[in-house]
A = this chain, B = another copy of it.
Amino acid sequence: MNLLLLTADQFLNDDTAQVSGRQARHIVEIHRAELGQRLRVGRVNGCHGQGIVTNISADCVTLSHISLDQPPPTALPLTLLLAMPRPKMLRRLLQTVATMGVKKLVLHNAARVEKSFWQTPFLQPASVHEQFVLGLEQARDTVMPELVVEKRFRPFVEDRLPDFLEKDTRALVAHPYDAIPCPVGLPGNQPVALAIGPEGGYVPFEIDLLKAQGFSAVSLGERILRVETAVPVALARLFN
């Protein structure tokens, strides 16, 4: 935790906040914070800065003199379309995505997504929020990503995706067949959409639907990567 990320309801007033649960334990057990210590804090969708620990009780830490004056790091101009991964991977991916600065994430169904994946409690809003907070705290970011869940692939791609993407979006799908190498170092103001399929990849019908919406197939190299590796590798190539 490189930043203590606070939601509006954790503020008692403009410059005082109280945290409990995981965040309080982290401050006490990992940072071993003492009274008077300064910590880096941020406000969800706001700025970050510092606060001073002024009270520590059983499961509650109070921060006062909070002053937030630094903007969050630059976000990626990216809409990430991810086929629903297996639940254990989902949690880590939500964190990774938030850490790397993705602000629009679409988890969608695909032919090779196991139906049972959709039953996971890790998709519940409180769980998603927790993973996003952990990812943002890692990166000293404050801007909460937006998550969209699309359980039917075809209506999503055909009907909603065109409106969802900004005009002039560079649309790419990670798919190693008939593909060009994934571009490197795109200009920072170029909106990009990147689709990454499930284990085993998209089926040809899904690739055709994406191509009909202007997506180009790109390859991340001759090695087949797990999705949790493919995401950081692709983002590091696209936006370096």
Residues of A within 8 A of B (CB): 2, 73-74, 95-96, 99-101, 138-141, 184-185, 222-226, 229, 232-237, 240
A237: B residues at CB distance < 8 A: 236-237, 240
Residue on B nearest A3 in the bound complex, by CB: B224
Does the CB pair B74–A138 fall under 8 Å?
Answer: no
Residue on B nearest A184 in the bound complex, by CB: B240
Does the CB pair A229–B100 fall under 8 Å?
Answer: yes
Write 20 A-B pairs (CB below 8 A) sorted by A numbering: A2-B224, A73-B222, A73-B223, A74-B222, A95-B226, A96-B229, A99-B223, A100-B229, A101-B223, A138-B224, A139-B224, A139-B225, A140-B224, A141-B223, A184-B184, A229-B232, A232-B232, A233-B236, A234-B236, A236-B237
Does the CB pair B184–A223 fall under 8 Å?
Answer: no
From B95, B100, B229, contact of A223 by CB (8 A): B100
Given contacts A74-B222, A240-B237, contact A99 B141 (CB under 8 A): no
